[in-house]
């Protein structure tokens, strides 16, 4: 039985694209560039095309494709091969579930005959009172599009820029095991965060935020994820990014935002951590262990094993104590500018927000866990100066329609 336990857990492995081996084109925005700059001249690349990394420079990786050599943005390629989008709440197909349930039944009977306590061996060890999965399920149930007048007016523009959600869904592809494992850990970390901060259950505000994330995600390399944005009640000015695409903004942050470009910049920064694998990569979860653990867990609860709880604890420590490495935070800033500019937002949004935030009260935690704000702004000003949005229509600013929905 020891072999079964060896499958348990989600292992984080911090790697670079270069160390991984081949990378795969995952966005129509990907180009083989003459220089490591988004506005450099380049040739279009096809989704699924395989590239061989040579070296990295900041947010770009030099690659070889056939006989050509050039640069490509990490925002548009992935070390993971193409896979279908992970639909939240679906962890395995029916045939896998039937087989695993039968194996689980046999395993349970054998263990019972030996006098083993399955509850102690296999069930939740994540201290369930530290997680709020019920609020998380509400967030996952919110539709990813909104039907406001401004949104309807923008739909034609979205079609022109090829950023409609799920545009590249391929039913012939399966969901990657690595994606399942990432989402599983990310869900638990998100539920842990929601136990600390109450989730604001405003359907229209949440739909609006998710529409922005969907728009940004549709041009990125992570089309295997459904990005979800939730609002949490806290006067602290901060935002959080969990693996699997779960993002959270505090009410304190939202109150300081003046434009949708600023809002998109913040969301894009948090998405950047996910897109660029700043949490490392994830080994494929084992379907048998997942289902067995679920069978041994009370109805309505979730599986959080010991290894997962340990990883969650380390990530939570980053949120509130140590922060991420300064290099990856600055890389996420650069990623934000690259993403927003691809869908028509002003690239100045994030730097404008950081400038306001630097003078505001309630940003102590954000400043503690991030590089010096002046350093971030200085680098953003340089990046903004070399980014163009000529190829995408400007987005209609809808923030004024929703800002008054923020809890006082």
How many whole angstroms separate alpha carbon 245 and alpha carbon 272? 10
Angle at the Cα of 92 (from 310 to 294), degrees rounded to 5? 50
pLDDT value at position 169?
Answer: 52
Give the whole-angstrom CA distance, residue 78 versus residue 195. 32
Q: In this structure, what CATH number is given to the domain that contains residue 36? A: 2.30.30.40
Q: Which residues contact 322 (CB under 8 A, 6 or more apart)?
A: 369
Would the pLDDT of 232 be above 90?
Answer: yes
Alpha-carbon Rg for the chain in angstroms: 21
What is the structure's pLDDT at 102?
47
Same domain, 192 and 336: yes
- Give yes or no: residues 65 and 140 share one domain: no
Residue 130, pLDDT > 70, answer: yes
**Which has more confidence, 364 or 106?**
364
The per-residue pLDDT for 127 is 57
More confident residue, 285 or 369: 369
Residues 367 and 275 in one domain: yes
Give which of 382, 279, 320, 289 is closest to 58, Cα–Cα. 382
Convert the pLDDT of each residue in 337-392 to its tens digit: 999 999 999 999 999 999 998 888 887 878 788 889 999 999 999 998 888 765 66
Does the pLDDT at position 250 exceed 80?
yes
Phi, psi of 253 (to 5 degrees): -65, -45
Average pLDDT value for the chain: 79
Q: How many domains are there within the chain?
A: 2
192 versus 365: the higher-pLDDT residue is 192
> Do 317 and 247 fall into the same domain?
yes
Name the helix (H) or strand (E) containing 24.
Answer: strand 23-25
Q: What is the mean pLDDT of residues 267-278?
A: 95
Residue 105 lies in a domain: no
* Tokens coding 165: 């959600």
The range of the structural domain enclosing residue 381 comes to 131-281+299-405
Residue 3 counted as domain residue: no
pTM of the model: 0.80
Assess if residue 183 is contained within a domain: yes
Same domain, 191 and 269: yes
Does pLDDT of 126 surpass 90? Answer: no
5 domain residue, yes or no: no
Q: How far, in Å, are 61, 75, 332, 375, 388 from residue 186 at the CA level?
A: 27, 20, 18, 29, 33
Token pair, residue 241, equals 């990014």
**Looking at residue 279, what is its pLDDT?**
83
CA distance 319 to 193: 10
Residue 381: inside a domain:
yes
204 occurs within a structural domain = yes
As a whole number of angstroms, the distance between CA 117 and CA 120 comes to 5
- Among 18-27, 154-163, 321-330, 388-397, top mean pLDDT goes to 321-330
Last residue of a domain, one of 37, 55, 78: 78
For residues 310 and 191, state if they share a domain.
yes
Residues 138, 69 share a domain: no
Domain boundary (62, 78, 94) is at 78
Determine, yes or no, domain membership for 116: no
Looking at 78, 99, 121, the residue that finishes a domain is 78
């Amino acid at each position: 039985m020891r072999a079964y336990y060896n499958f348990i857990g989600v292992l984080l492995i911090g790697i670079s694209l270069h160390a991984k081996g081949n990378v795969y084109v995952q966005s129509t925005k990907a180009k083989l560039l003459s220089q490591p700059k988004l506005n450099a001249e380049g040739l279009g690349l096809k989704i699924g095309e395989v590239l061989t990394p040579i070296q990295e420079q900041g947010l770009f990786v030099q690659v070889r494709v056939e006989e050509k050599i050039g640069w490509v943005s990490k925002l548009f390629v992935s070390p993971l091969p193409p896979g279908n989008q992970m639909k939240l709440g679906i962890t395995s197909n029916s045939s896998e579930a039937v087989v695993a349930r039968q194996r689980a039944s046999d395993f349970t009977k054998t263990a019972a005959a030996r006098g083993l306590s399955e509850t102690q061996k296999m069930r939740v060890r994540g201290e369930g009172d530290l997680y709020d999965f019920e609020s998380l399920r509400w967030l996952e149930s919110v539709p990813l599009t909104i039907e406001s007048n401004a949104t309807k007016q923008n739909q034609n523009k979205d079609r022109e820029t090829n950023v409609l959600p799920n545009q590249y869904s391929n039913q012939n592809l399966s969901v990657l095991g690595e994606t399942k494992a990432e989402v599983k850990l990310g869900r638990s970390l998100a539920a842990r965060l929601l136990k600390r901060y109450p989730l604001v259950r405003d359907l229209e505000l949440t739909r609006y935020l998710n529409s922005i994330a969907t728009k940004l995600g549709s041009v990125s390399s992570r089309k295997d994820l459904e990005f979800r944005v939730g609002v949490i009640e806290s006067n602290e000015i901060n935002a959080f990014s969990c693996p699997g695409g779960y993002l959270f903004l505090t009410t304190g942050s939202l109150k300081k935002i003046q434009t949708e470009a600023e809002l998109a910049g913040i969301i894009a920064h948090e998405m950047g951590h996910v897109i660029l694998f700043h949490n490392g990569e994830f080994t494929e979860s084992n379907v048998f262990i997942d289902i067995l653990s679920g069978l041994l867990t009370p109805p309505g609860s979730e599986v959080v094993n010991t290894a997962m709880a340990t990883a969650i604890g380390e990530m939570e420590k980053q949120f509130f104590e140590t922060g991420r490495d300064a290099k990856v935070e600055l890389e996420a800033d650069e990623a934000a500018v690259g993403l927003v500019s691809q869908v028509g937002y002003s690239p100045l949004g994030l730097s404008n927000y950081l400038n306001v935030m630097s003078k505001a009260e309630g940003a102590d935690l954000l400043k503690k866990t991030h590089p010096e704000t002046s350093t971030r702004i200085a680098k953003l000003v340089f990046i903004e100066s070399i980014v163009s949005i000529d190829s995408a229509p400007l987005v209609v600013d809808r923030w004024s329609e929703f800002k008054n929905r923020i809890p006082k």
